[in-house]
Homo-oligomer: A and B are copies of this chain.
Amino acid sequence: MSDSDFIASYRAKAAQYAKPSVTVDLVIFTVMKGQLHLLLIERGEAPFKGELALPGGFVGVGDTFEDQGESLETAARRELVEETQVSLEEAWLEQVGAFGQPGRDPRMRVISVAYTALLKPGLASSARGGTDAAQAMWIPITDDLSTLPPLAFDHQTIVRAAIEQLQHRLATSGIAFQLVPTAFTIGDLRDVWAAILGIPQDPGNFRRRFVRMLSDGIIRETPEFRKTSTKPARLYRFEGATDSGRTGELS
């Protein structure tokens, strides 16, 4: 039996199984005014019409031998662009996990792969409703997660998992730098830490951590300062020397 025979018979056999729909959902964060914000859309259709939900969509799956469709991350990136108009390069993506509880979508079996996306402050403002008429809005996330508004489907579970993942990875990866401008002050980065952890960060102690990153070569000092209404602050840049996180599958 040749390989292609195998494949043909396998496809016939697999076709007997019902398949789930697979979607990607996006947990898009940005930091505004020292607070973590989450991009949500108001659903225009049943089910959960009028409720808030994560942006998302189907994963493109080809139906031929040659074309198996788009990768999960590509699907996530596509949805991100539709929803926020950010350029493809600018956004940072990381998979949260698969959520596939039966009944999570009342219409049919849907397994969703959730991705966290982090937007730098400048890009966040350009976010708006996507091509579908849905209304997009930034919702502040306070340190108290119980203040999260009710969300459609199991999206609140997904958001909680995403935040937990952010908190765990904050110290060991470069995610914080994805939420500050490319040239940032110590205070900018401190605000991001405070927003993600939900705990104010001591300026002195945070500075010590910052200096350590500086001497580790993770951050580079620039000669510039940012003018503020008070004492100008030194600007720094991220050198990108941390583990960058599994954004999808590396294959």
The A contact surface, by secondary structure, is: loop
Alpha-carbon gap, A61 to B104, bound state (A)? 13
List A residues 1-30 near B (Cβ within 8 Å): 3, 6-7, 10-11, 14, 17-22
Identical copies in the complex = 2
Inside 8 A of A146's CB, which chain B residues have their CB? none
Chain B residue, CB-CB nearest to A172: B168
Stretch at the interface among A66-74, A130-138, A222-230: A66-74
Residue in contact with A20 in the complex, picked from B22, B154, B248, CB distance below 8 Å:
B22
**Is A62's CB under 8 angstroms from B102's CB?**
yes
**Is B249's CB under 8 angstroms from A100's CB?**
yes
Write out, one digit per residue, whether chain A residues 194-223 have a CB within 8 A of any chain B CB (1) or not (0): 000000000000000000000000000000
Inside 8 A of A61's CB, which chain B residues have their CB? 17-20, 109
* Known A7-B107, A97-B97, A249-B154: A19·B21 in contact at CB below 8 Å: yes
Residue in contact with A69 in the complex, picked from B46, B69, B109, B250, CB distance below 8 Å:
B109
Inside 8 A of A161's CB, which chain B residues have their CB? 246
Determine which residue in A11, A68, A71, A251 has the highest number of CB atoms from chain B within 10 A of its CB, and name it.
Answer: A68
Using a Cβ–Cβ cut-off of 8 Å, how many residues does chain A contribute to the interface with B? 52
Inside 8 A of A248's CB, which chain B residues have their CB? 101
* Known A19-B61, A47-B3: A250·B157 in contact at CB below 8 Å: yes
A-B contact pairs, 17 of them (CB 8 A): A6-B107, A7-B47, A7-B106, A17-B58, A22-B100, A59-B100, A59-B111, A72-B98, A72-B111, A95-B97, A97-B98, A97-B246, A99-B251, A101-B249, A111-B113, A157-B251, A161-B246
